[in-house]
Structure 1
Amino acid sequence: MKKIYLTLFAVLLFNAAIAQDLSTMAKQMTQVDSTGQLMVKVADDLKSGNYKDILSSFFQFASENLTGANKSIAFNGTLFALKAEANPELLKDYNFVNERFSRNFQFNFKIDLNADYGYHGFTGGFTYAIINDRDRKLANFMKNRDKFKELIASYEAINKTISDESTAYIKTIVTTPGITPDQIKTQLAAFQAGLDSLHRYHKTNKLPPAFIQQVLAKSGVTTAADATPLDLGVEMQHLYDVRKTAYANIDKGSLLTISTNGSADDKGTLNKGSAGLKFLKGDIFGRNNPGELDIRSNFTYADTVAASKPRSLLNSTLGFNFSILKAKDSQKSLMELKAYGEYNRVLKNLLPNEKKDTFLANMDLRIRISGDLWLPITVKYDVQTANFLGFLNVTYNFVSVTGNSSKAKSGS
């Protein structure tokens, strides 16, 4: 009998894990956790890595061009993230929606390094989002969470009923007259596989029909049309789909930023300034092919040749970013591919043997190594000289520097 009780204990633990996951999804969907802060981080995780490289919701460390001659280590942080460090209450949704300016204002700092990783200068500036529909949708989504009360009720009903009926069903198996320990073990293993299939793939073909009907009857899950019980797997899929759709809508909006930066050399002399525009538009090809339009233009005024010969340059890119791999349940982007063309023009003071115009065909591959760590790899092809250039970058997005806002987010 020892094996029987060990198996029973394992199945009950598995069932408890399912119940906990359903409960967590419900909180993510409607922002009803005890601190009222979870949605901020969950929705931020669903933003593309391409988006975060332009405007970070909180903080970001980035190592750029690690394989090239001109390397850099960058730190970006929004005004909102700094304020949240001092007052974590800002992460709660009713405070979050009122921080529009600070959410869209980002400080940019960068240490420039030479080929031998020696200090070569410093760059500082800011980025501001003139248009940020994704941020607005997030705020509106959180503000109007009451619209999802019916969904949370369905989650809670199914969550409780699966837990209750699983316990009752397991007791029925264990107490069946004449059943052997091996038969109990086999049936419990099959039932566990059925619960796993329901949780991960929303399929009920591995669950006993009697169990499914009991769950449906007790949870009161019905169709809106004729009030007849739905298949449990269909209802589970519906709940997941509604959740995915709600989050996906956040990532369809436009982003338009302006930025300005100034650079000093290793002696502290200010020798370069730049101003730029960046524009993103999500879902450019429709829901079934959610490409992200990416347009960027940057003007640079540099005094690197001589005091009497300042240079001015224009850099522009146009392309599309695609999330080619997403997590099945959370819909987090795990791998992104951006194809884009690049045009560079020297507007003033061309150097000897330098081309006035340069055209490049580029590709960025971003791989999400962990929850907040990205590995962007850039390959550039010079159309005129047929030369390839490669760049390796690393970016790390995080919520808190001191840990204050992270603790508040989790409610600890």
Structure 2
Amino acid sequence: MTENGERGTGSDGSRARGRTAERGRIRVVGFDADRVRDRDPLSEWSETDGATGEGRGATGEGDDGESAERATNGAAAGRWRRGLRRFRRDRSAMVALSVVVAMALVSLLARPVEVFGVVVQPFALAPYDPTTILYLSVDPSVSPYDPPSARFPMGVDGAGRDLFSRVLVGGRYSISIGFVVVGLTAAFGLVYGAVSGYYGGTVDEVMMRIVDVVFAFPGLVLALVVVATLGGGYWQLVCAFSLFGWAGYARLVRGEVLSIAERDYVLAARAIGARDRGVIRRHVAPNALSPLVVLASLNVGNVVIGVAALGFLGLGMDPSTAEWGTMLDATRETLIQGPGGEIPWWATVYPGAAIFVFVLAMNVIGDGINDALDARRIGVDRGGRGDRGDLRDDGENRESRGDEP
């Protein structure tokens, strides 16, 4: 009887537990929970990490600052990983990225590269040196502005040089200047804006008035002044676009930092005595990078256009340099011909097309990065995945979370 009674009690307890487990559940009609399992996680937290964190808290091990740092860095890293997955699924952005990578590789492999007399890149995709005058050293039958042919796919320029070789090599100057300038200005603007927004008060007021002074002048005009003062050349152009190009990044980062500085994890880090430099480096700056990366990807094309504009005005590289804007400057007298004259369209179309394709590809990449890092796009789409989830209204979000209306 005792054994049977225990069994009976156990059976009754199981039924009671079953009824209790079913009690309080909310059934949402039209929502399939199995389709949500494949979506991107909204955070990098896992049960193991949570249990470990609880264990550390229970045993007294660890530090609140370290916990805040792990949580902040984990959230930032998770956001970047989710953004990368969404970017990979953007076909337009991936095609544009392939175009940019191909143009950069072709420019790098166009002619051999020597560093301090040592050849570090021996390949030569360009058939001729970009400064070689063909009718003097290659073929006397070549004439200036010869049209495209099988031997010279892009024709010959006004000085008798192969346009195909010059366009390939010209990417070294235009593309590299764009990325170098954006790298320098974005790095300085990140530090400048983070310090201004974090400290606020008088520091922010003074630093932002300096930014306002920079914005009072058009960027291309300031670049013209710098080039006119320092002269043309590669590093002169880098300096011309870097000296004042950081202001846009600084203002953008400052606005983001003003919001981030009031977050709980930043206040907690400051409350436990963390240094300002460490708080900015570990908590503030990493969380302000998303809009900075988007702006930087879009500004690469703007810098390339600016460099080409200075080259077209004759204020860029040396006239013999195979830079896309300088090549356009060398042939601008052919754009207008007298009666009966023929315009050698190939002398301007191919360098201009190289600028157009590169800038267009960078703009598409910037749009793709913007979509990938947009936090509002994180959700559950019709296929049950959160990679390209559409925005849902509040009612649908409440249903997907199982909350009561």
Shared fold (TM-score, shorter chain, > 0.5): no
TM-score, normalising length: structure 1: 0.23
TM-score, normalising length: structure 2: 0.24
- Richer in strand (by share): 1
- Richer in helix (by share): 2
> Whose RCO is larger (CA < 8 A, sep 6+)?
2
